[in-house]
Structure 1
Amino acid sequence: MGKILATNISEIKGVQKRNVHSVKLIEEHGIEHDAHAGKWHRQVSLLSYDRIEEFKAKGAQVNDGDFGENLIVQGIDFRTLPLGTKFLCNDVILELTQIGKECHHGCEIFQLMGDCIMPREGVFARVLKGGTISEGDEMSILSSPARLFI
C-alpha cells in the first residue's frame, strides 16, 4: 500500500513541476492542466518517495516536482514492478507503461549532482479511469502481470 505525498503539475514542458496538492486525472489523457497530458503512453509520471529521500541523503537539495514527477508515492518501489502493473487510487486506475527515461542533456539536477534518479527510478503510466487524487490518498497495486524468469 502506498500513500500520495505530492501531486505536481506544470503547464509547459521542460520545467520543474509545482505541488498543487490535488489533481484531476482524465481517462486516456492524463492530469488536467499538465503539459505532458495527451493521447500517449506517458500521461502521468510517478516517483517513489523513498528513492527521493535516498538521493537527498547524498546531498541533493530537491523539492517536490523537481524531477518532473507528477505523483510522489511513499511505500511503493515502482522500479521493481513490471510493465502492465495497474494501480488504484480512489476511483483512478493507472497502468504502468514505461520505466525510466532519457534525461534531458541540460538537466539541472544532473549538472549539480552528477546524477539524476528519474532516468532509472521514475515510471510512467496512462490513465485507464479518471478521477481525483490528493495528498494523503492511498494507492494500491490493483494487478501485476506475472514476470517471466529465464
Structure 2
Amino acid sequence: MGTIKALCISEKKGTLKTPVHKALFQTEWGMVGDAHAGRWHRQVSFLGLAEIEAFRKRGIDVKLGAFGENIVAEGFRFKDLPVGTRLRAGEVWFEITQIGKECHKSCAIRSQVGDCIMPREGVFARVLHGGWIEEGDALEITEEKISLDAAIITASDKGSKGLREDE
C-alpha cells in the first residue's frame, strides 16, 4: 500500500504539470482537464516519490509534476509493476498499460538539466473506473474484480410499428 503525495495537471502538452489538491478522473479518459487525457492507453502517468527524491539528491531542485507525471506516490517503485497491474485509490481504478517511454527531445526538464527520469521510472495507465482522488489518499495494488452493473436494451422501429414480429 502506498500514499498519493501529489496530483499534477497541465492544460497543454509539452509543459510542466502543476500540483492540485484534488482531481477528478474520468473512466476511459484520464484526469479531467489534463492535456494528456484521451481515448488511448496513456491516460494517466505515475512516478514514485523515491525516484524524484533520488533525482533531487543530484543537486537539481525539481518540483512535483516537473517530469510530466500525473500521480506521485510513496511506497511504490512503479517500473517494477508489470503491465496489467491494477491500482486503486478510493473508487478510482487504474490498469498499467506501459512502463517507461521515449523521451521528447523538447522535454522541459531534459533541456534544463540534461536528464529526465520519466522515460526510465514512469509508468502509464488507463482509468478503468473514475472518481475523485485527493492528496494523502491511499493507493493500493488490487486483484479485486471491478463490479459493474450493465443492461442491454434493443429498440426496433419496425417492431414497434408492427411491420415485423419483434423477437
**Which bin holds the TM-score, normalised by the shorter protein?**
over 0.9
Shift of 1:20: 1.1
The one-letter amino acid paired with 2:135 is E
**Cα offsets for 1:91-127 (capped at 9, x unmatched):** 0100000111111112232233332100010110000
CA distance in 2, matches of 1:79, 1:65: 17
* TM-score where L is the length of structure 2: 0.83
Q: Corresponding residue for 2:15?
A: 15
Please tell me the residue identity of whatever aligns with 2:117.
I
Match of 2:123 in 1: 123
In structure 2, runs of 5+ residues without a counterpart are 145-167
SS of the equivalent of 1:76 reads: coil
User: For 1:109 and 1:2, how far apart are their aligned partners in 2?
Assistant: 26
2:14–2:108 Cα contact (<8 Å) kept = no
Partner of 2:135: 135
Q: Is the 8 A contact 2:6 2:19 kept in 1?
A: yes
For residues 29 and 86 of structure 2, the distance between their equivalents in structure 1, rounded to whole angstroms, comes to: 16
Alpha-carbon distance between aligned partners in 2 of 1:112 and 1:12, rounded to the nearest angstrom: 19
**Aligned partner of residue 34 in structure 2, secondary structure:** coil
- Please state which structure has a larger fraction of its residues in strand: 1
Counterpart AA for 1:75: G
Determine helix, strand or coil for the equivalent of 1:35: coil
Give the match for residue 29 of structure 1.
Answer: 29
> Whole-Å Cα distance in 1 between the matches of residues 82 and 101 of structure 2?
15
Instruction: Tell me which amino acid in the other structure corresponds to 1:33.
Output: G
**Aligned 1:1-150 pairs, distance under 5 A:** 1-143=1-143
**Structure with the greater alpha carbon radius of gyration:** 2
Distance 2:112 2:59 in 1: 10
In the alignment, the residues of structure 1 paired with residue 69 and residue 105 of structure 2 have an alpha-carbon distance, to the nearest angstrom, of 17
> 1:135 is aligned with what amino acid?
E
Q: Is the 8 A contact 2:36 2:43 kept in 1?
A: yes
User: Where does the alignment leave 5 or more consecutive residues of structure 1 unmatched?
Assistant: 145-150
State the secondary structure of the residue aligned to 1:60.
coil
Partner of 2:162: none
Using structure 1 for the length normalisation, give the TM-score: 0.92
CA-based RMSD of the aligned residues comes to 1.2
Aligned length: 144
Q: Which has the higher contact order (CA 8 A, sep 6+)?
A: 1
